[in-house]
Amino acid sequence: MPPIRRWTQLATKTLVDRWWMTLRQDRVRLPNGHVLDEYHVVEYPDWACALALTGDGQAVLVEQYRYGVDRVALELPAGMIDPGEAPEVAARRELLEETGYRAPRWTRLGALAVEPGRHTNSGHLFVARDAHAVADPTPEATEDLRVRLVPAASLPALVEAGRIAHGIHAAAVFWALAKGLLDEPRSATGVQGVHSRPQLPGPMQKEQQTLLVSVNVEEHDGVDAHMTEIGRKVGQGWTVIQAIPLSGEEAGPGGQSEDFMRYQVTVEREIDADNVVVGADRGGAADLKDVGQVSGAFDEGIPGDDA
């Protein structure tokens, strides 16, 4: 059997040339003689990402909206490698900038081609252990990020459920799992729902959760009425800081008209120095209400989290 041969570039022209991306159109001849008059290649810089694990078995993730797939997803802290910068240095920098965390122990997993058919770049993957918060995040102006802590053991299930959507980040999770690098939690604690990292020590702390909330459209018409109903459902002590429509007649292009609207809601509450929830009755319990409609990031909580 003859070896697989390379394609031959017959001509090339640049269509887009930016500091962060070049799009070129090539004319290529395949080994069998067939000619492709237009074959597009995107030249991107390499990037690095960190699968950061705390000492108590939590993974440090970021949650953000991705325009290409038009949804909010969980990701590993990651970013472009600057010219002349070593991949690990870039991974450490991105972890600090996006999450405010540092880690003393780093293990290189390797590098993977992002899309080998048409993209020229690679993602460099690292596992960072004993990660701990040292500062507030300092994201770029184009980044709207939320730092989330989830049990490291739940990462594969988050990939399977589609909450971690980036293919290379998913590969980092399973690569680290195969190497046994997710099996080091010390007195790990389960987390219900997807939580943000604790605030730096101080008299008050904030806690966040991401929920799914259903609102009856016929009984509560209009966005303002929906927000009022969502506030009633999540209970006292919690404040709604973000609500993203996921389904129903107000979900935007592609949404189907239904009898209810489903929102992805981020709620926040403050806890004082005596561990009492601020603004809640019953001694500060501030439980989430209507659990049948208000849940964690999944209807049954994080898959695989039995705590």
Catalytic site residues? 143
CA-based nearest residue to 119, from 184, 66, 183, 43: 43
Number of C-beta neighbours around residue 95 at 10 A: 29
